[in-house]
Each structure stands twice: as structure tokens, then as C-alpha cells.
């Protein structure tokens, strides 16, 4: 069986999963995107947002556009080098306005993480990447528990390893776009991506 066939089977399993509330109410499954044969990196975000939920593809909204800009600057080819997934495959949301039904994003809840985790771990196993990139604290916690925070261990600041694979944490682009507004942090983000390119390019 090829990697793609194994991922297709896993995706089907994931499609039929309705264990948690967001699985029952999802618009689209956001399983992952990339070429499993050429990807040297599994890139893990937190969870789909509105745009991702609409398109069924990770990192296509505001954070995704920021990420794409910085991947390009670092010389990383998103389509060829990365297989992009999230810790959750369905959008975690709250109904913000009962009248209009407008939804807003919220962080993943424990039961959602527990229900979804095995899909992420299986994706890593199938793709068998050279490197795992953990984007934001939620992704970092999903593999390493609460031992670390991105601020302390991002990029080359830590020598993380997960089951024999090198892992690198980076800031989440949503944090940089919506909260930090810091040239200094954007610069660190770019430096981390350049370091990542060097790490998987060798
Ligand atoms: N943020 C994430 O963590 N993942 C996405 O797919 C989009 C935004």
C-alpha cells in the first residue's frame, strides 16, 4: 500500500468519526494537505478556523496567508516539502450570536483532543517525516505535554525529539498576526523557518 492509500483509508475513518460535539456539527473535515511522498516535514497546527472549515484545507485563512509569506521567504515549498495537519480535524467553535448563528473559534477542549489525537499520531507514522514542526503551544503540548512553552523552546532553542524524530516548535502565525504585532517576533519566526529548512534539507 502506498502512503497516499493509507492516508485515504485513515481519512475515511476520520470522516465517519462523530465522537465529539464538533465532529457531529462540522461543515468539512480538515484532514491534512500535502504530498506524502515528497514531504520531509509534518507541520502540525492547532485546529481549523472558519476559512479552513469552509475549504476543508488547513492554513488557508489569515494565519495561513501569513505562514505562506514566511515559508516563501525561508525558501520552503509548502506543496512539496510539507504535509500540513492540525491536532483537531474539525473546527472548534462557539455560537457567538444566537440570532444570526455567527460562530467564533475557541481553543480545543480536552475531550476533543483525546478523541482526535490518534488520527494525528497515525498521520505522523504513515508519512514518516524527517522532522516534525509544532506550530503553537497546543501542537507542542499534544506531543510533549505541559513541559515546554513555545516562547522558551522555539526554533533552535531546544533539542526536541519525538519517538526518534527531530521536532521543532515555532510560534503560531495566528498569534503573530492577531496578538503579538511584533517585528522582533516575526523576525524570530523567519529565523526558525530558515533553521527548519536547513534541518530537513540536509
Ligand atoms: N490555525 C491552525 O492552527 N490551523 C489551521 O489550519 C488554521 C489556523
Task: For residue range 164-193, list pLDDT tens digits in order.
Answer: 999 999 999 999 999 878 999 999 999 999
pLDDT tops 90 at residue 97: no
The pLDDT, as a whole number, for residue 98 is 87
Q: Where are the beta strands (DSSP E) in 66-122?
A: 82-86, 93-97, 102-105
What separation in Å is there between the alpha carbon of 45 and the centre of ligand 1?
5
User: Could you tell me if 52 and 60 are in contact, meaning their C-beta atoms sit under 8 angstroms apart?
Assistant: yes
Show the ligand 1 pocket: residues with CB < 6 angstroms. Answer: 45-49, 52, 58-59, 61, 63-64, 86, 174
Eight-class DSSP state of 147: G
List Cβ neighbours of 172 (8 Å cut-off, separation of 6 or more): 45, 46, 63, 135, 136, 137, 138, 139, 150
Q: Percent of the chain at pLDDT above 70?
A: 100
201/126: higher pLDDT: 126
What separation in Å is there between the alpha carbon of 47 and the centre of ligand 1?
5
Q: Where are the beta strands (DSSP E) in 58-156?
A: 82-86, 93-97, 102-105, 131-135
pTM of the model: 0.96
Q: Where are the beta strands (DSSP E) in the chain?
A: 33-34, 41-45, 82-86, 93-97, 102-105, 131-135, 160-162, 165-170
pLDDT tops 80 at residue 39: yes
What separation in Å is there between the alpha carbon of 169 and the centre of ligand 1?
15
User: Could you tell me if 142 and 117 are in contact, meaning their C-beta atoms sit under 8 angstroms apart?
Assistant: yes
69/100: higher pLDDT: 69
Rounded mean pLDDT of 110-118?
97
The pLDDT, as a whole number, for residue 27 is 92
The pLDDT, as a whole number, for residue 101 is 85
User: Could you tell me if 63 and 174 are in contact, meaning their C-beta atoms sit under 8 angstroms apart?
Assistant: yes
Ordered by where they begin, the domains of the chain are 3-200 (3.40.470.10)
The pLDDT, as a whole number, for residue 172 is 98
The pLDDT, as a whole number, for residue 124 is 98
The pLDDT, as a whole number, for residue 157 is 77
pLDDT tops 90 at residue 55: yes
Mean pLDDT for the chain? 95
Task: For residue range 77-96, list pLDDT tens digits in order.
Answer: 999 999 999 999 999 998 88
pLDDT tops 80 at residue 58: yes
Amino acid at each position: 500500500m502506498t502512503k497516499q492509500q493509507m492516508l485515504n483509508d485513515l481519512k475515511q475513518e476520520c470522516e465517519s468519526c462523530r465522537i465529539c460535539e464538533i465532529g457531529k456539527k462540522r461543515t468539512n473535515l480538515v484532514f491534512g494537505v500535502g504530498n506524502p511522498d515528497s514531504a520531509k516535514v509534518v507541520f502540525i497546527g492547532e485546529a481549523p478556523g472558519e476559512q479552513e472549515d469552509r475549504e476543508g484545507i488547513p492554513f488557508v485563512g489569515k494565519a495561513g496567508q501569513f505562514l505562506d509569506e514566511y515559508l516563501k521567504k525561508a525558501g520552503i515549498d509548502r506543496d512539496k516539502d510539507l504535509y500540513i495537519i492540525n491536532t483537531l480535524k474539525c473546527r472548534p467553535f462557539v455560537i457567538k450570536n444566537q440570532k444570526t448563528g455567527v460562530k467564533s473559534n475557541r481553543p480545543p477542549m480536552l475531550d476533543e483532543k483525546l478523541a482526535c489525537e490518534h488520527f494525528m499520531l497515525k498521520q505522523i507514522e504513515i508519512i514518516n517525516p524527517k522532522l516534525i514542526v509544532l506550530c503553537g503551544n497546543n501542537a507542542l503540548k499534544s506531543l510533549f505535554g505541559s513541559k515546554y512553552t513555545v516562547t522558551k523552546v522555539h526554533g533552535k532553542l531546544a533539542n526536541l525529539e519525538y519517538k526518534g524524530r527531530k521536532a521543532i516548535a515555532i510560534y503560531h502565525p495566528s498569534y503573530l498576526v492577531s496578538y503579538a504585532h511584533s517585528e522582533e517576533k516575526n523576525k524570530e519566526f523567519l529565523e526558525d523557518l530558515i533553521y527548519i529548512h536547513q534541518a530537513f534539507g540536509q
